[in-house]
């Protein structure tokens, strides 16, 4: 445990200094220092990205907030005027891997794809990033099955099983990793503004709002459910949710639900119709200070 605590401190320091001071850390200093030196050399020798981006390519950039970020290309979002790409965050701190992380090797160094941490970057920003390399064909085939077909990551390619609500360093690490790319995650909602709004989605959103209005006197809100300041994101098995003012934007992540006839359960009401990939929920006045997590817990989608 002391090793992970020390490594976590090193991880936090790396965001401000790519090769942090190691003198007070009681772990294998030479191994860690060599790791950072090799990484630095790799970045210096890497070429710029190719015109055609491919699934499994790994890139490196420094964000506007000065945070070093590795990411893997997933694919281009069709219909985006911004040439927006879906990517997954990659980390070289594989000691924090959980069962949702896909571990691989590149340039003889270990990395992991955070399959739970998707975000979005326009082509022009990817072109400014440093191209690190690409997963092997074998890893690409396996990762596509994991992401598209939902198969489990094999034991030898993943980390430990960790309780989501447990006080584990791995959970702290996950929170930090999401925080590092929060501004990139938000870009998905701008992407959907580029697409033509469908009358069917407008009608669904109207029904959702009316449903919440009708339930406003019957929804029991625990004291713990009131929102913490700055709480903007929630993620569940089938969807991601983002709060913007008095609106929630819901993006369906379970591909088996999108475009199917189904049901949306919101608190005590059920709405039937075609499940779109993205829709918005206007929040009535009485729910505007409620935790986004509480609302996400009371939204269920099924077909």
Residue 17 has pLDDT above 80, yes or no: no
- The three-state (H, E, C) secondary structure of the chain, written as one string: CHHHHHHHHHHHHHCCCCCCCCCCCCCCHHHHHHHHHHHHHHHHHCCCCCCCCCCCEEEEEECCCCCEEEEEEEEECCCCCCCEEEEEEEECCHHHCECCEEEEEECCEEEEEEEEEEEEEEHHHHCCCEEEEECCHHHHHHHHHHHHHCCCCCHHHCCECCCCCCCCHHHHHHHHHHHHCHHHHCHHHHHHHHCCCCHHHHHHHHHHHHHHHHHCCCCCCCHHHECCCCCCEEECCCEEEEEECCEEEEEECCCCCCCCEEEEEECCEEEEEECCCEEEEECCHHHCCECHHHHHHCEEEEC
Q: What is the predicted pLDDT for the residue at 8?
A: 84
pLDDT at 31 over 60: no
Q: What is the average pLDDT across 278-298?
A: 85
* Percent of the chain residues past pLDDT 90, beyond the cut: 41
Mean pLDDT taken over the chain: 82
Confidence check: pLDDT of 83 > 60 = yes
Cα-to-chain-centroid distance, residue 276: 20
Pairwise CA distance, residues 249 & 279, whole Å: 6
d(CA 66, CA 149) in angstroms, rounded, equals 35
Give the model confidence (pLDDT) of 227-279 as tens digits.
555 578 889 999 999 988 888 899 999 989 988 899 999 998 999 888 988 89
Between residues 112 and 204, which one has the greater pLDDT?
Answer: 112
What pLDDT is recorded for position 289?
Answer: 79
The more confidently predicted of residues 51 and 282 is 282
Q: Is 1.20.58.220 the CATH classification of the domain at 2-189?
A: no
pLDDT computed for residue 135 by the predictor: 97
Residue 138 has pLDDT above 90, yes or no: yes
Is residue 111 very low, low, confident or very high in pLDDT (cuts 50, 70, 90)? Answer: very high
Geometric angle at alpha carbon 87, from 14 and 279, rounded to 5°: 120
Summarize the confidence of residues 128-151 as an average pLDDT.
Answer: 94
- Mean pLDDT calculated for residue range 108-124: 94
Specify the domain boundaries for CATH 2.30.30.110 within the chain.
2-189
CA 84 to chain centre: 15
Summarize the confidence of residues 147-175 as an average pLDDT. Answer: 88
Q: Which residue has the higher pLDDT, 100 or 16?
A: 100
Q: What is the pLDDT of residue 226?
A: 63
């Amino acid at each position: 445990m002391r090793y992970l605590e020390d490594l976590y401190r090193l991880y936090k320091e790396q965001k401000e200094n790519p090769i942090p001071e190691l003198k007070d850390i009681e772990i294998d200093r030479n191994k860690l220092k060599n790791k950072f030196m090799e990484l630095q050399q790799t970045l210096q020798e890497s070429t710029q990205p190719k015109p055609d981006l491919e699934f499994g390519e790994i890139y490196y950039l420094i964000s506007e907030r000065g945070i070093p970020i590795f990411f893997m290309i997933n694919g281009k979002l069709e219909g985006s005027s911004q040439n927006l790409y879906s990517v997954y965050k990659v980390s070289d701190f594989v000691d924090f891997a959980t069962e949702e992380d896909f571990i691989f090797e590149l340039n003889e160094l270990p990395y992991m794809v955070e399959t739970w941490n998707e975000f979005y970057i326009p082509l022009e920003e990817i072109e400014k990033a440093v191209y690190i390399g690409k997963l092997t064909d074998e890893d690409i085939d396996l990762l596509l099955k994991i992401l598209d077909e939902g198969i489990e990551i094999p034991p030898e390619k993943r980390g430990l099983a960790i309780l989501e609500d447990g006080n584990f360093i791995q959970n702290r690490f996950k929170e930090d990793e999401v925080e590092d790319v929060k501004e990139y995650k938000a870009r998905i909602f701008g992407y959907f503004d580029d697409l033509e709004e469908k009358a069917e989605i407008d009608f669904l959103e109207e029904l959702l709002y009316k449903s919440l209005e009708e339930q406003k006197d019957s929804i029991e809100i625990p004291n713990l459910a009131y929102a913490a300041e700055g709480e903007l994101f929630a993620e569940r098995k089938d969807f991601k949710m983002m709060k913007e003012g008095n609106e929630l934007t819901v993006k369906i992540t379970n591909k088996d639900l999108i475009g199917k006839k189904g049901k949306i359960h919101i608190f005590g009401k059920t709405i039937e119709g075609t499940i779109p990939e993205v829709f918005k929920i206007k929040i009535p006045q009485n729910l505007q200070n409620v935790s986004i997590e509480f609302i996400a817990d009371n939204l269920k989608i099924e077909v």
